């Protein structure tokens, strides 16, 4: 069961500890839906912590894995932790009946200048490396088709970013998808069109309040399609 207040308290403390640890604070950049929720006003709640590893050094990667594990141990039981080819992953349980926190650190260096896509922002007095808007938007667009299963929360986030006229980092889109932004937006529209309104709340409903749920069920899909087509039309 998701207790939003408790979950946010835990995530905030984890973020604080990661970025207060000088041995790893410059090695990870905060991104994803929770980043957009904490720093850019995303209206929906978000439950995971996503980062990019900002180094290709194996020793530094292992240090991040070790230090992050030590930090998470303070807040509950680590149910799973491992380093895969492109990912450092933790599943943290902070209560038997509570929602787990997934902490995922992407270790794939998609661009040599990846750190330039992050900037220092403050959260309650703690400086953190936070993804810039155009990088977040590009990542969400790519996730729409690259996930093994489409996530309705990606559609919601894309709607919010597009509604607020965020720029999209075309270089990131090209790197992740192999297509120009204009070409790829066609793919995005097609994916969203295939998703039915009665399925739009799957995996998203618990992250919205009742009023937002009603709006999303009736409007999210068509509004997002319009906004992406509008972006596409504006591109030269």
Burial of 173 (0-12, 13-18, 19+ CB in 10 A): buried
What mean pLDDT value characterizes the chain?
Answer: 94
Q: Where in the chain is the domain with CATH 3.10.450.620?
A: 1-131
Q: Name the band, by pLDDT with cuts 50, 70 and 90, for residue 236.
A: low
> What gap in Å lies between CA 37 and CA 46, rounded to an integer?
7
In this prediction, residue 204 carries a pLDDT of 92
Give pLDDT tens digits for 191-235. Answer: 999 888 778 999 898 999 999 999 999 999 999 999 999 999 998
User: What are the strands of the beta sheet with 77-83, ordered from one edge?
Assistant: 77-83, 87-93, 101-106, 49-53, 28-31, 126-131, 118-123
Pick the closest to residue 235 from 154, 190, 179 (CA basis): 179
Q: What is the pTM of this model?
A: 0.94
In this prediction, residue 152 carries a pLDDT of 92
Question: pLDDT over 90 for what percent of the chain?
Answer: 85
Give pLDDT tens digits for 79-130. Answer: 999 998 899 999 999 987 778 999 999 999 888 889 999 999 999 999 999 9
Matching CATH number, 1-131, of 3.10.450.620, 3.60.10.10, 1.10.3720.10, 3.40.630.30: 3.10.450.620
């Amino acid at each position: 069961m998701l207790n939003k207040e408790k979950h946010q308290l835990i995530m905030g403390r984890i973020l604080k500890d990661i970025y207060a640890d000088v041995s790893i604070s410059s090695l990870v950049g905060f991104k994803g839906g929770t980043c957009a929720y904490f720093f850019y006003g995303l209206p929906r709640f978000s439950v995971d912590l996503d980062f990019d590893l900002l180094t290709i050094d194996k020793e530094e990667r292992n240090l991040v894995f070790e230090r992050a594990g030590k930090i998470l141990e303070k807040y509950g039981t680590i149910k799973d932790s491992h380093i895969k080819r492109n990912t450092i992953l933790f599943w943290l349980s902070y209560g038997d009946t509570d929602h787990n926190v997934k902490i995922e650190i992407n270790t794939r260096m998609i661009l040599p200048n990846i750190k330039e896509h992050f900037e220092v922002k403050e959260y309650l007095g703690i400086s953190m490396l936070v993804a810039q808007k155009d990088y977040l938007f590009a990542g969400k667009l790519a996730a729409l088709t690259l996930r093994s299963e489409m996530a309705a929360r990606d559609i919601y986030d894309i709607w919010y970013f597009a509604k607020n006229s965020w720029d999209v980092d075309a270089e990131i889109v090209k790197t992740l998808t192999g297509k120009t932004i204009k070409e790829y937006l066609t793919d995005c529209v097609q994916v969203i069109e295939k998703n039915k309104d009665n399925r739009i709340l799957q995996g998203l409903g618990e992250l919205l309040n009742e009023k937002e749920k009603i709006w999303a069920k009736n409007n999210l899909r068509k509004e997002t399609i319009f906004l992406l087509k509008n972006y596409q039309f504006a591109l030269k």
